[in-house]
Amino acid sequence: MPAVPPRSPYGTGHLRGERTFPEAAHDELGNEQLRRNLGRATHSIRAKRLDVTGELPDWEQLRDAGSAIKTDTMNRLPGLLEQLERKVTEHGGTVHWARDGVEANEIVTRLVRRTGSDEVLKVKSMATQEIGLNEHLASQGIAALETDLAELIVQLADDRPSHILVPAIHRNRDEIREIFLRRIPGVDPALGAAPAELAAAARAYLREKFMTAEVAVSGANFGIAETGTLSVVESEGNGRMCLTLPETLITVMGIEKVLPRFQDLEVFLQLLPRSSTGERMNPYTSLWTGVTPGDGPQEFHLVLLDNGRTAALADTIGREALNCIRCSACLNVCPVYERTGGHAYGSTYPGPIGAVLTPQLAGMHAAKDDPNSSLPYASSLCGACFDACPVKIDIPSLLVELRHQHTEQSKTTAEKLAMTAAAAVMKRPKLFTAAQRTAGLGRVLAGRDGTFSRLPPPFQGWSDSRDTPAPPPQSFRSWFASADGAATMRAAAEEGARHTDDDPQEAQ
Amino acid sequence: MTTTARETVLRRVQDALARSDRPEVTVPRGYRTGRSLPDGERLALFTDRLVDYKAQVRTCTAGATATVIAEVLRARGARKIGVPPGLDPAWLAGYDGELRTDSPDLPAPRLDALDGVVTASAVSCAETGTIFLDGAAADQGRRALTLVPDLHVCVVDLSSVRTGVPEALARLVPEHPTTLISGPSATSDIELERVEGVHGPRTLEVVIRTDV
């Protein structure tokens, strides 16, 4: 069997937090402002999404098509990537390949240096966030300026994004006003906190930058193999500014973002905006193919990024996570995300999909007590994310699979000890019956409501976050063997026989 | 010879896929395609969606194009207008302000000094209120022209309005630089409260010609 491709290199980029999810979440839960902001935002976006998806009678067919197109894409990835490369090159673009984030950062730095500029404008992009491009450019003396309003807020506050779609969702208007007053040079001290005023301040600040920028860096929502067309979906026009005005455009795209046909856009341009912002269509979508003489950047570079994506692809179950189109619908319906916010996940990709994608890309056993190994447990497995996903990624099942992989890998965990003990007992019928009788005694120790709120070591990890029901007073085996059990079974058999006599149709 | 990143990544993808079976997938395209609606319904749907996205909408006959455009520009106080080189000059016959024809060497700050821009459009989607601009078409112009000025007056012929997204996308030339616009520039980044007008045009005036 071929080798497993490597994960994103340990210690680089933003695919691993410094603390486990429970530790980080514990602190975030103490932040009432955060919870209020998040609660309001996720509820309003959820309602909007349901409105506009409910409007389409063929929504489920679109989801089926989207899911199948992505699965088909993954199956044919090598050929599609080569086709994309060929088409982009034919239209005057240059394609670069990056094994990981470190290599992608070096490629972008080299390309920016060649333009002679020491400043780049950025379009909001998950891929460049994932590889820590801004930080790398800064270390090389190149200033990267985020132009998406939310990303700008996060950047000016020296903060980290906390949501895939609205990275500053954890900040309210007063906090944002404070950040602008502190960090935007020459801002009017009388600046108000109304969103319209704050947006206008950002417009004024970035306007001059747009007019004079020489180079911009973007991500891509889709890359069409058939035609070499790339696409960025946005609202504010900062994307259009960056994609159109500078002389040089550098686009960093994860290899999983390729789509086979131009026609496939008809599916994703319906699925993405409605799932993401709850709009029928986002205000602006840009489509470009290589270089167009006399219009837009005259130099175009596409950087195709692996950074653990092939490792995810090698996992037949985890492969599904690569279908994600980064709409963030799963974040907005997740009861865990709604309370902890995005920072607790420690990764560029928070929420349910992040809990699956992050360990797939970066691994969860790279170090002792790897924080990523706690991510598969950052879920109640309620299934709301699966229902919301426009490409039908079965996130709960993937989380369960990752939990399984984590338990397999771990030398000793409470669950593993318990399961090993249980397996040994269940193999011996006499021991099993004896154990069940003993377990009945557990009722005596449980509280009046028949639950344990706290288990003894090594099981306290389980009981920290949930109550444990006490074992029933009688095991099934002892009930079955009792006179009461025998009588009930006899009655049930007679009842069944009567139905068969009355209505032969029903019995069939 | 050292292995290039290209070879490495492609080999990794192949290795990853070779680790399991890849059952062939047929994409079910049971969603709605090839839809059409009578003119009146299409116009009503398109207008409803444009207004919902805070675009200003006017309808007129082709013969009244120049009059309506002049009215819009006057109402907006636009005295300095940019147009793509291939725009029908008759459309601006009623306009008495300064006119600037775009060219590739016109730098962005010069576009910024314009009050607005008037263009045609390639195709539209009624169901989503989206207008598609073909950057390679002489009457729509390069992308910067419809982006930098604060007012965009866009002329749409009802015959070019398609019902849904698949029907509209099918009319495009994929390789042309294309911009899809649904209303004016907007952001919802602060407390998810929608604000019209950030970096793109803050005002979108759509003139729908019902008899073309």
Q: Do residues A151 and A234 touch, judged by C-beta distance below 8 A?
A: no
Q: Residue B170 in contact with residue B159, Cβ under 8 Å?
A: no
CB within 8 Å: A196 and B195: yes
Is the CB of A5 less than 8 angstroms away from the CB of B109?
no
For residue A465, pLDDT over 90 is answered with no
- Residues of chain A with Cβ-Cβ distance to B125 below 8 Å are 281
Coarse DSSP helix, strand, coil percentages of chain A, rounded to the nearest 5 percent: 55, 10, 35
Yes or no: say if A462 and A415 are a contact pair by the CB < 8 Å rule: yes
User: What digits encode the pLDDT tens for the residues B86-145?
Assistant: 999 999 999 999 999 999 999 999 999 999 999 999 999 999 999 999 999 999 999 999
Which pLDDT value is given to residue A506?
41
Mutate to test the interface with B, among A236, A289, A301, A303 (most CBs of B within 10 A): A236
Tell me the sheet residues that pair with B151: B203
pLDDT for the residue A415: 63
Is A210 an interface residue toward B (CB < 8 Å)? yes
As given in the structure block, the two tokens for residue A352 are 């349910």
The pLDDT value given to residue A135: 97
Average pLDDT, chain A: 90
Contact A198/B at CB under 8 A: yes
Best A105, A292, A303 residue to mutate vs chain B (most B CBs within 10 Å): A292
Q: What per-residue confidence (pLDDT) applies to A504?
A: 45
Contacts for A5 with CB less than 8 Å, ≥ 6 apart: A306, A310, A311, A313, A314, B12, B15, B16
- The verdict on A237 touching B (C-beta cutoff 8 Å) is yes
Residue of A nearest to B104 (CA): A294
Inter-residue contact A376 to A408 (CB < 8 Å): no
Flag whether pLDDT at A47 surpasses 80: yes
What's the DSSP call for residue A292?
A: B
**Residue B181 in contact with partner chain A when CB distance is under 8 A:** yes
What the block records as the tokens of A475 is: 């095991």
Is residue A272 pLDDT above 70, yes or no?
Answer: yes
Chain Cα centroid distance, residue A27: 21
pLDDT interval class at A458 (50, 70, 90)? low
Question: In this predicted structure, what is the pLDDT of residue A507?
Answer: 39
CA torsion angle A442 A446 A448 A449 (round to 10):
-100
Q: Give yes or no for residue A424 having a pLDDT over 80.
A: no
Are A303 and A251 a contacting pair, CB within 8 Å? yes
Q: Is A148 on the interface with B (CB under 8 A)?
A: yes
* CB within 8 Å: B20 and A316: yes
DSSP 8-state assignment for residue A16: -
Which pLDDT score, from 0 to 100, does residue A11 have?
Answer: 93
Residue type at A281?
A: M
Find the mean pLDDT for residues A413-431. Answer: 70
- Residues B147, A255: C-beta atoms closer than 8 Å: no
Predicted confidence at residue B22, as pLDDT, reads 83
B19, B25, B199 member nearest A236 (Cβ)? B199
Question: Which residues have C-beta within 8 Å of that of residue A128, sequence separation ≥ 6?
Answer: A122, A134, A217, A219, A252
Q: If you search the block for the tokens 């793109």, which residue do you land on?
A: B200
Residue B148 in this model has a pLDDT that exceeds 90:
yes
Is the complex ipTM more than 0.95? yes
Closest of A334, A395, A350 to residue A43, by C-alpha: A334
SS3 A122: strand
The tokens for A167 are: 């990275």
Q: Do A282 and B8 touch (CB under 8 A)?
A: no
* φ, ψ at A95 (rounded to 5°): -110, 135
Q: How far does A18 lie from chain B, in Å, by closest CA?
A: 27
Residue to mutate among A229, A266, A267, with most B CBs inside 10 A, is A266
Element spanning A129, H or E: helix A126-130
Q: Do A284 and B179 touch (CB under 8 A)?
A: yes
Interface of B with A in 103-142 (CB under 8 A): 104, 108-109, 112, 125, 127-130, 135-136, 142
Residue A441 has a pLDDT of 57
Predicted pLDDT of residue A416:
65
Question: B104 to chain A: which residues are within 8 Å by CB?
Answer: 294-295
Close Cβ partners of A162 (under 8 Å, ≥ 6 residues apart): A168, A169, A170, A341, A342, A343, A350
B1–A contact, CB cutoff 8 A: no
Distances (CA, A) of B206 to A236, A349, A359, B182: 19, 39, 48, 11
Cα A393 from Cα A353, distance rounded (Å): 9
pLDDT at A413 (0 to 100): 63
Contacts of A203 in chain B (CB under 8 A): 197-199
| Count of CB pairs separated by less than 8 Å, A with B | 262
Whole-angstrom CA distances from A443 to A436, A452, B40, B137 are 12, 9, 72, 79
Cα B209 to chain centroid, rounded = 16
pLDDT (tens digit per residue) in B158-202: 999 999 999 999 999 999 999 999 999 999 888 888 888 899 999
Q: Is B32 on the interface with A (CB under 8 A)?
A: yes
Check A68 against B26: CB less than 8 A apart: yes
Gap between the Cα atoms of A56 and B96, Å rounded: 45
Q: Which residue from B9, B17, B147 is facing A244, i.e. has the nearest CB?
A: B147
Alpha carbon distance A476, A479 (integer Å): 5
Token couple for B62: 């082709």
Per-residue pLDDT, A442: 59
pLDDT digits (tens, 9 = 90+) for B125-142: 999 999 999 999 999 999
- C-alpha B132/C-alpha A178 separation (Å) is 39
> pLDDT tens digit string along B54-95?
999 999 999 999 999 999 999 999 999 999 999 999 999 999
Residue B140, min C-alpha distance to chain A (Å): 12
| Calpha distance A87→A81 (Å, rounded) | 10
Q: Pairing state of beta strands B80-83 and B116-119? A: parallel
Whether residue A501 is predicted with pLDDT greater than 70 in this model: the reply is: no
Q: How far is CA A446 from CA A71, A442, A469, in A?
A: 49, 6, 8
Average pLDDT over residues A16-23: 95
A189: contact with B, CB 8 A cutoff: no
**A196: nearest CA partner in chain B:** B195
More confident residue, A166 or A219: A219
Segment (H or E) for B59: strand B56-60
Tokens of A81: 């990537």
Task: Please tell me the predicted confidence (pLDDT) of residue A505.
Answer: 47
Taking an 8 Å cut-off on Cβ atoms, the answer to whether B185 and A277 are in contact is no
pLDDT in tens, B26-49: 999 999 999 999 999 999 999 999
Task: Out of A114-118, A183-187, A285-289, A427-431, pick the least confident.
Answer: A427-431
The answer to whether B191 contacts A40, with C-beta atoms less than 8 Å apart, is yes
Q: Min CA distance, A280 vs chain B (Å)?
A: 5
- CA angle in degrees (0–180, nearest 5) for A351-A352-A357: 95
A310 contact residues in B (CB cutoff 8 A): 9, 12-13, 15-16
Identity of the residue numbered A100: D
Query: Which residue from A18, A29, A30 is spatially nearest to A374, judged by alpha carbons?
Result: A18
Residue A502 has pLDDT above 70, yes or no: no
Which member of A64, A97, A147 has the closest CB to residue B6?
A97
Shortest CA gap A269–chain B (Å): 8
Instruction: Tell me: pLDDT of A420 over 50.
Output: yes
| Distance in angstroms between the alpha carbons of the first and the last residue of chain A | 48
Nearest to B176 by CA among A304, A228, A225: A228
Nearest CA in chain B to A273: B128
The per-residue pLDDT for B1 is 56
Supply the mean pLDDT for chain B.
96
Average pLDDT over residues A38-61: 95
Instruction: Please state which of the ranges A98-112, A277-291, A485-499 shows the lowest mean pLDDT.
Output: A485-499
Measured distance CA(A216)–CA(A297) in Å, rounded: 9
Task: State residue A190's pLDDT score.
Answer: 94
Q: Is the CB of A482 inside 8 Å of chain B's CB atoms?
A: no
- CA-based nearest distance B110→chain A, Å: 10
Write down the pLDDT at residue A410.
76
CB < 8 Å from B in window 306-325 of A: 306, 310-311, 313-314, 316
In chain B the first and final C-alpha atoms are separated, in Å, by 63
Min distance A412 CA to chain B CA atoms (Å): 29
Residue in chain A closest to B172 (alpha carbons) equals A262
Q: Tell which wins on pLDDT, A161 or A434.
A: A161
